[in-house]
């Protein structure tokens, strides 16, 4: 089969890779209907995260089940399925508490690489959620978004305790931040501030429910949030970047007693203890337990109540993956969908 491999920073190739097979009785093999490039794929692509030799890429996926192992009962060949970037048994104590991304048997799907024609998905019964019927083609991008960026943005909003009537600020205008806006709107937020300096992202943020766009960042951006909230700060702040600046911006934009939901993969972030102590904010986040939200998100998409697939502003054949990475790296595209 064909699959995407990162050889060294900036060097993305589509190559012949071995066809995946069932290795464990709990595995399934799926044929990808669509896959995509994640903002987090840009960390190794840019060399900020180490690349240890040729690495298969991709952890977002929707597709048709081809084959299941002898110990898979809930998922059947021919079904259309969605899973997230951590395979999970969905039955251990951590999973049952809603933290499937930290399942005691969690396996990183990114190590397998779903930017390919086929992929082996471990712990298929716990990981994969089938749709009740084969979805129409126009729903595929939105279902693919549920696999990571929507589920992650949704978790960020839940972690930030977004509720009806609350004021929310969203740090980060990538796909996760934009879908954090959508989630905040769905969860009933009254005002939603989106930090963004890029016109196409600003208009998508507005479409998803942002009431105000803030074009400044850092402490300047914080001051603007304070100005818009009687000097108090937002009730809920979503952090969807993962840098020192974005994390401090999120904490400082939150009012005392408020909540920060952080989902940007942390790179070199160090929190000053004394400032954190006196901020009196709640911090919650980490790798999003997307599996917790999948059934609900699939229903919202099937009923066409939300259209998160709008974050894909570039669609390419899998063979042109390198251009898909370049476009995102240069911020010409918000998110690239790849069709195998």
Which residues sit at the interface with Zn ion, rule CB under 5 A?
88-89, 92, 95, 103
**What does the H/E/C string look like for the chain?**
CEEEEEEECCEEEEEECCCCCCCCCCCEEEEEEEEECCHHHHHHHCCCCCCCCCEECCCCCEEEEEEECCCCCCCCCCCEEECCCEECCCCCHHHHCCCHHHCCCCEEHHHCCCCECEEEECCHHHHCEECCCCCCHHHHHHHHHHHCHHHHHHHHHHHCCCCCCCEEEEECCCHHHHHHHHHHHHCCCCEEEEECCCHHHHHHHHHHCCCEEECCCHHHHHHHHHHHCCCCCEEEEEECCCCHHHHHHHHHCEEEEEEEEECCCCCCCCCCHHHHHHHCCEEEECCCCHHHHHHHHHHHHHCCCCCHHHHCCEEEEHHHHHHHHHHHHCCCCCCEEEEC
Nearest distance in Å: CB 123, Zn ion: 8
Nearest distance in Å: CB 202, Zn ion: 39
Would you say 51 or 92 has its CB closer to Zn ion?
92
Would you say 79 or 88 has its CB closer to Zn ion?
88
Nearest distance in Å: CB 27, Zn ion: 16
Measured between alpha carbons, how far is 27 from 1 in angstroms, rounded to an integer? 18
Nearest distance in Å: CB 291, Zn ion: 9
Would you say 48 or 104 has its CB closer to Zn ion?
104
Would you say 2 or 102 has its CB closer to Zn ion?
102
Nearest distance in Å: CB 91, Zn ion: 6
Would you say 88 or 279 has its CB closer to Zn ion?
88
Nearest distance in Å: CB 101, Zn ion: 10
Nearest distance in Å: CB 81, Zn ion: 18
Would you say 103 or 156 has its CB closer to Zn ion?
103
Nearest distance in Å: CB 84, Zn ion: 13
Would you say 90 or 186 has its CB closer to Zn ion?
90
Closest C-alpha among 234, 233, 170, 179 to residue 208: 179
Residue bearing tokens 């290795």:
23
CB environment 269-283: b (16+ within 10 A), e (fewer): beeeeeeeeebebeb
Would you say 88 or 142 has its CB closer to Zn ion?
88
């Amino acid at each position: 089969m064909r699959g995407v491999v990162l050889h060294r920073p900036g060097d993305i190739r589509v190559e012949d890779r071995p066809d995946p097979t069932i290795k464990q009785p709990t595995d399934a093999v799926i044929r990808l209907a669509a896959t995509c490039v994640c903002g987090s794929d840009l960390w190794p692509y840019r060399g900020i995260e180490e690349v240890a030799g040729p690495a298969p890429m991709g952890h977002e996926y929707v597709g048709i089940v081809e084959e299941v192992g002898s110990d898979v009962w809930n998922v059947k060949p021919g079904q259309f399925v969605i899973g997230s970037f951590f395979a999970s048994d969905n039955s251990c104590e951590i999973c049952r508490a809603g933290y499937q991304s930290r399942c005691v048997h969690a396996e990183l799907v990114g190590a397998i690489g779903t930017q390919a024609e086929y992929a082996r998905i471990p712990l298929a019964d716990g990981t994969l959620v089938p749709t009740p019927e084969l979805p129409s083609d126009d729903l595929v991008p939105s279902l693919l978004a549920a696999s990571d960026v929507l589920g992650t943005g949704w978790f960020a909003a839940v972690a930030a305790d977004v509720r009806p009537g609350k004021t929310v600020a969203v740090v980060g205008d990538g796909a996760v931040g934009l879908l954090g806006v959508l989630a905040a709107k769905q969860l009933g937020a009254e005002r939603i501030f989106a930090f963004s300096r890029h016109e196409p992202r600003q208009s998508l943020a507005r479409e998803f429910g942002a009431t105000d766009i803030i074009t400044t960042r850092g402490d300047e951006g914080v001051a603007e949030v304070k100005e818009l909230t009687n000097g108090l700060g937002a009730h809920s702040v979503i952090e969807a970047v993962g840098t020192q600046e974005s994390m401090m911006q999120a904490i400082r934009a939150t009012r005392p007693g408020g909540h920060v939901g952080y989902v940007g993969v942390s790179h070199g972030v160090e929190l000053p203890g004394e400032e954190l102590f006196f901020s009196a904010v709640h911090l919650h986040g980490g790798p999003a337990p997307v599996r917790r939200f999948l059934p609900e998100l699939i229903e919202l998409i099937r009923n066409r109540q939300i259209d998160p697939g709008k974050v894909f502003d570039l669609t390419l054949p899998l063979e042109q993956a390198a251009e898909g990475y370049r476009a995102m790296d240069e911020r010409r595209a918000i998110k690239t969908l790849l069709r195998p």
